[in-house]
Structure 1
Amino acid sequence: MVTVVLPATWVYALRLPHDPRAARVARMTVRAALNGHGMHEVVDIVELLTSELVTNAYRHTKGPASLRLTALEGGRLRVGVWDSSSHIPAPFDRPPGDRMPAAPEDAEGGRGLLLVREYASSWGGWPLGDGLLDRGAGKLLWFEVGGRGDWC
């Protein structure tokens, strides 16, 4: 009898069109992948944070986006969302630990990326390409959860 040993690390990638349904497709993909790998305890938070990044990619760009889920050593999960704009939005444009003012109570937006900073173990973002006249290769925003035996 052959024993199959599942790898501790894995990667899923998904190309998302510029479509208002992209966040829903991303959430469904995250839920299926994490449940399939037995990572039930982080599904809800990863689904929420992924939805925030993909929604921003749709709202603030005119091009496609990509989602990448990467299981890393030590029980960590990294989620990255690429989009076609090289602009790094606040609060990702500031070093970790910098305090950001809360969005006004009557504001319609401005809270999603703060959720990522609050609930992810680590996060970051960087422009890709030269970024001249916003014709670079876009940007990547990412976050990690887990590690050291603690899940958010």
Structure 2
Amino acid sequence: MVTVSPPGTWTYALRLPRNPRAARVARMTVRAVLDSHGRPELLDTVELLTSELVTNTYLHTTGPASLRLTALADGRLRVGVWDSHPRVPALFGEAPSDNVPSDCDGGRGLHLVRAYADRWGGWSFADGPFDRRAGKLLWFETGG
């Protein structure tokens, strides 16, 4: 069977171990991929938001993560980060009900995704046809 992709679309996937350097590896991958596809205008935003999502997988889960970059036919870029914990953070659902205190050391990453991404969302695989693939996928889109 032959698979046909629209012109200008591509996908990269990377498995990340549970390691404090995973966010750095993800940033380096994003930089290399966007540079190789001539998308420097997306670099700062995608690098920051990807780093935030991958850092959360290290801080809040005990297993590996996966990063997927997908160029969509309309010029947007979708970034997905999968991890082994099934809970989708509240900020990827309803509007946030509280702000992070200015003296807090963390808690801003998902606020940054909401502020700088064009679209975002999350899916839990715990309660559905994908039970054997526990975990969740958080994603965002930008560009276009």
Shared fold per TM-score greater than 0.5: yes
The two structures have a TM-score, normalised by structure 1, of 0.85
Cα RMSD (Å) of the superposition? 1.9
* Among 113, 135, 138, the residue aligned to 1:138: 135
Residues paired across the two proteins, number: 137
* SS across alignment from 2:74: helix
Unmatched segments (≥5 aa) in structure 1 = 1-5, 148-152
State the 1:53 CA deviation: 0.2
Does structure 2 retain, via aligned residues, the 8 Å contact 1:86–1:136? no
Contact 1:117 1:123 in 2 (8 A): yes
**1:3-42 paired onto structure 2 within 5 Å:** 7-42=7-42
For 1:91 and 1:99, locate their aligned partners in 2 and report how far apart those are by CA, in whole Å. 6
User: Which entry has the higher C-alpha Rg, 1 or 2?
Assistant: 1
Write the distance in 1 (CA, Å) between the matches of 2:82 and 2:97: 23
Partners in 1 of 2:90 and 2:32 — Cα distance? 30
Please tell me whether residue 110 in structure 1 is matched to residue 107 in structure 2. yes
2:99 counterpart letter in structure 1? A
User: Where does structure 2 lack aligned partners over 5 or more consecutive residues?
Assistant: 1-5
Secondary structure of the corresponding residue to residue 38 of structure 1: coil
| Poorly superposed stretches of 4+, deviation over 4 Å | none
**Which position in structure 2 is the counterpart of 1:65?**
65
Alignment partner, residue 123 of structure 1 = 120
- Aligned residue type for 1:49: L
In the alignment, is the contact (CA less than 8 A) between 1:130 and 1:136 conserved in 2?
A: no
Q: Deviations over 1:112-136 (max 9, x none)?
A: 00000000000000101338xxx86
- Matched residue, 2:3: none
- CA distance in 1: counterparts of 2:96 and 2:23, whole angstroms: 28
Q: Is the 8 A contact 2:90 2:96 kept in 1?
A: no
Q: The residue matched to 1:74 in structure 2 has which SS?
A: coil
Structure 2: which amino acid aligns with 1:93?
Answer: G
Q: Distance in 1 between matches of 2:14 and 2:26?
A: 8
Distance 1:74 1:42 in 2: 14
- Write the distance in 1 (CA, Å) between the matches of 2:97 and 2:15: 31
* Residue of structure 2 equivalent to 1:101: 98
Q: 8 Å contact 1:15–1:64 — kept in the other structure?
A: yes
Whichever residue aligns with residue 22 of structure 1, its letter is A
Of all paired residues, the percent bearing the same amino acid is: 68
